[in-house]
Amino acid sequence: MSNGMKFAGQVVAYAVFMALIGYLSTSPAYTHLADDKAMIKLSFAHYGKTVGECRERTPEELARLPPNMRTPMDCPRERSPITIELDLNGEPVFATVLRPSGLSRDGMAYIYEGFEVPAGRHELEVRMRDDVTTEGFDHVKTVQVELEPAHLLVIDFRAERNAFMLSR
């Protein structure tokens, strides 16, 4: 093979190598969300109410405890599971019961769910029950939202406000 042919062969090899890199580094384009869709994310980390009531320890019980553990009140650690439901335009789209985290079921309950929805106007209703000692839902929020294409609406529950919050 002549030197010219060898050189041409090398140029072709480098060109193919770089073309492969140049193409696959950006292409083909990936459509993560269709252009007429929006997304709703339901996500929060929340402590349910404790399952039982605190009670006062008797003097005998206190005496049996090591000195550093003699707190007068005995409070149960286990927390309520959290029931959460989401309706979209009157139709249920999600419902689940979240268990508190931790071996003693005394931690937060977490949720992170995403829902692709058509862009446009929607009615949302989100309901949560975080206390098994009561009947019905403890927190309910109903709202009309206008979602642009690619819009991300986050439904969070803020403990400090004790209410659902929507990011717009």
Q: Which residues of this protein are in contact with other proteins, per CB under 8 A?
A: 1, 5-6, 9-10, 12-15, 17-18, 20-22, 24-27, 29-35, 38-39, 41, 43, 45, 101, 108, 110-112, 149-152, 154, 156, 167-168
Q: How far is the CB of 50 from other proteins (least distance, A)?
A: 20
- Residues with Cβ within 8 Å of 136's Cβ and at least 6 positions away in sequence, in order, are 129
Give yes or no for a cis peptide into 28 (omega within 30° of 0).
yes
C-beta separation of 157 from 41 below 8 A: no
Q: Of 33 and 65, which has the nearer Cβ to other proteins?
A: 33
Residue 72: both structure tokens together: 């007068």
Regarding beta strands 120-129 and 55-56, do their DSSP bridges make them parallel or antiparallel, or are they unpaired? unpaired
Residue 14: both structure tokens together: 């480098």
Q: How far is the CB of 156 from other proteins (least distance, A)?
A: 7
Q: Of 9 and 92, which has the nearer Cβ to other proteins?
A: 9
Q: How far is the CB of 149 from other proteins (least distance, A)?
A: 8
